[in-house]
Structure 1
Amino acid sequence: MRAIALALAASALLLNVPASAETNSDAFAKKGFFTHVHDGRLWVLSEGDKDIELVSRNKEPKEVTTRIAAGPNNMTIKSNKPDVIDAYLAAEK
């Protein structure tokens, strides 16, 4: 388990992502959005979206849009709808 934590921290450094981001989705929270970090990628869904339960269990919805290095700290950002990513990136914290 310790080896996994060290590997995640090393990956975070290489990707310029704070290691705390691996476990703290609150750092990326914005009003009106559900955020979840998994495997160094930021998932963003609209508040109340039907896929929140699925994503929070680290499962992928049927439809996924991915934007590599488009999120905060150059994180890959994923969502079930491309317009949700656009709205999240344009939203104020």
Structure 2
Amino acid sequence: MLAPAGYMFLTSVEGQFITPWLVGKRLELNTVAVFLTVVVWGWLWGIAGALIAVPFLVVFKVVSENVEALKIFSNFLDNRGQDAVRLPEEETRAP
């Protein structure tokens, strides 16, 4: 029983803490967009829709970052807020 319990403990720690921490450092999403996506997909497909809503949103964000016509969606989905939509004159000004 020690081996299955150890496996369950390690996979739980990895799935609940390590992976979200690593992914969260690299990929940030707009909180409002995540909430709206979960609500809409949950309304359409129920629990299954709520579970796949965020992965679909992540895929859409990655695609919108790489397609020039979808850059406006990428800026909205980015969690950096106003820093992502800086005007050129704001970047050159000294603080």
| Same structural fold, with TM-score higher than 0.5 when normalized by the shorter chain | no
Q: TM-score, normalised by structure 1?
A: 0.30
Q: TM-score, normalised by structure 2?
A: 0.30
Higher strand share: 1
Higher helix share: 2
